[in-house]
């Protein structure tokens, strides 16, 4: 069987389904190929279920710490199976909604494993339950995403040595766990598990947790983790893993660390092997698809989006890629009069880590700003302790603003309970190149954490209100 569409999308994760939905909205005929479930990693094994578990962990902390707020309650039990059921209900509802939306747009969904081929035209050959099928697209989008990575010599067995995929399906929690990797995934699982009563050790090869964030944010999280009883080892590369029937032992930094299980959280790699990309003429760099600034590959009719493209592995980056590609294809097919603007630059994609305390940032770090602008950089750090809402929430944290000297704010960096909800304003600040004077002229509702952004802007504009300067 064969069919021709305006757009064939290989992979129905965040980038793929966004491209399919927008293209269909613009009147293009679309085929969407997926070997698993619509929604991909983010919906089924990433963003959504992990944040559901993290919310359950917050509830556990609220019960455990209620006496500090005059609410006396007793935490009787952590029911891992019930918690998993809660996460599954959230995921299931979103999956049904997405499936209905895709169906209503007239998108043809082809279930099976697709691989890229070339002949007279680029095609996707799909191995389905009913046999092989060929889909030819006037344009094709590669959106096969990413998968958890491991380190040489560390074998994932799914029982004692696991990835985040396995961690999200645990029906019982370990007494002790080692988290190998102190990036976003490692920090989130370490935080959630500790709140759920697990003894946690985090082992990070680099010199700090969350190494891509501002050092001040990393130090704040490290101190908070230590205070919560999480054992953090930085600058400690893994050396060897031994697995027994009783548990697992990780040798790192010359010391053995023993636990019931080891979570390998050392990042994710692109899913591009065995899918025909290189054979079809697509250029790859360490598994990532090489694209230009319009996400076009070495084959002019083939685009790539999301985690396949080197850069931040974030669902909302994939959404942006998918929408852009759909509109650019629609323009090429004379369905849109003007070409869309290129996708948002990677440094302007907001980043959030949902550990306790939360970390959120957008724009340039101070070090990156100095690489771009030399010494013509100013910063201000505002302690959340000066904000009434932070006192109510009993959270510690800070806001750091980075600006070009006498110029706009180029980076916003936050740490503290609930700061993920401030990232929208932060993105507008950097995306629209706001000056501190611009931001300080707006009223920030009292009492909210949002006041911290206003206070930091006031200080950076040279007129601090509740801070010294």
Active site residues: 446
- For residue 26, what are the contacts with CB-CB under 8 A and spacing of at least 6? 326, 327, 330, 335, 336
Sign of the torsion angle spanned by Cα atoms 181, 182, 183, 186: positive
Q: Number of H helices and number of E strands within the chain?
A: 14, 24
CA pair distance 274, 278, nearest whole angstrom: 9
Tell me the CA distances in angstroms from 41 to 5, 23, 74, 187, one per residue in order. 26, 22, 36, 19
Token couple for 354: 């949902």
- For residue 245, what are the contacts with CB-CB under 8 A and spacing of at least 6? none
CA pair distance 390, 82, nearest whole angstrom: 32
What is the rounded radius of gyration, in angstroms, for the C-alpha atoms of the chain? 24
Verify cis geometry, omega within 30 degrees of 0, for the bond prior to 357.
Answer: yes
């Amino acid at each position: 069987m064969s069919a021709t569409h305006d757009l064939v999308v290989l992979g129905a994760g965040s980038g793929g389904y966004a491209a399919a939905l927008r293209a269909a909205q613009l009147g293009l005929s679309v085929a969407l190929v997926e070997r698993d479930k619509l929604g991909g990693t983010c919906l089924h094994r990433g963003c959504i279920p992990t944040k559901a578990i993290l919310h359950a962990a917050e509830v556990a902390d609220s019960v455990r710490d209620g006496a500090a707020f005059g609410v006396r309650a007793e935490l009787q039990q952590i029911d891992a199976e019930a918690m998993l059921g809660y996460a599954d209900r959230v995921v299931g509802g979103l999956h049904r909604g997405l499936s209905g939306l895709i169906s209503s747009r007239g998108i043809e969904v082809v279930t099976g494993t697709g691989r890229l081929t070339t002949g007279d035209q680029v095609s996707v050959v799909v191995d389905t339950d009913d046999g092989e099928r060929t889909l030819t697209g006037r344009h094709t989008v590669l959106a096969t995403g990413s998968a958890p990575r491991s380190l040489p010599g560390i074998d994932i067995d799914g029982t004692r040595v696991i990835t985040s995929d396995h961690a999200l399906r645990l029906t019982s929690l370990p007494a002790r766990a080692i988290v190998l990797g102190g990036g976003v995934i490692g920090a989130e699982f370490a935080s959630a598990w500790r709140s759920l009563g697990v003894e946690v050790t985090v082992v990070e090869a680099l010199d700090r947790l969350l190494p891509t964030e501002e050092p001040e944010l990393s130090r704040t999280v490290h101190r908070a983790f230590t205070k919560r009883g999480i054992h953090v080892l930085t600058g400690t590369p893994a050396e060897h893993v031994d697995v027994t029937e009783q548990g697992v032992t990780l040798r790192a930094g010359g010391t053995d660390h023993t636990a019931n299980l080891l979570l390998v959280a050392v990042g994710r790699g692109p899913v591009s092997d065995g899918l025909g990309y290189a054979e079809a003429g697509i250029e790859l760099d360490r598994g990532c698809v090489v694209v230009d600034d319009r996400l076009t590959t070495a084959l002019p009719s083939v685009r790539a989006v999301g985690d396949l493209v080197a850069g931040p592995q974030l669902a909302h980056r994939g959404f942006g890629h998918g929408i852009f590609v759909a509109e650019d294809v629609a323009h090429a097919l004379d369905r849109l009069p003007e070409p869309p603007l290129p996708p948002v630059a990677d440094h302007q994609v907001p980043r959030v880590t949902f550990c306790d305390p939360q970390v959120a940032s957008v724009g340039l770090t101070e070090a990156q700003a100095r690489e771009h602008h030399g010494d013509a950089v100013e910063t201000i750090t505002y302690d959340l302790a000066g904000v009434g809402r932070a006192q109510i929430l009993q959270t510690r944290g800070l806001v750091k603003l980075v600006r070009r000297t006498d110029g706009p704010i180029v980076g916003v960096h936050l740490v503290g309970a609930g700061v993920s909800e401030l990232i929208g304003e932060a993105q507008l600040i950097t995306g629209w190149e706001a000056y501190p004077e611009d931001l300080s002229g707006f009223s920030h509702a009292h009492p909210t954490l949002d006041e911290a952004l206003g206070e930091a802007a006031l200080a950076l504009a040279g007129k601090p209100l509740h801070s010294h300067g």
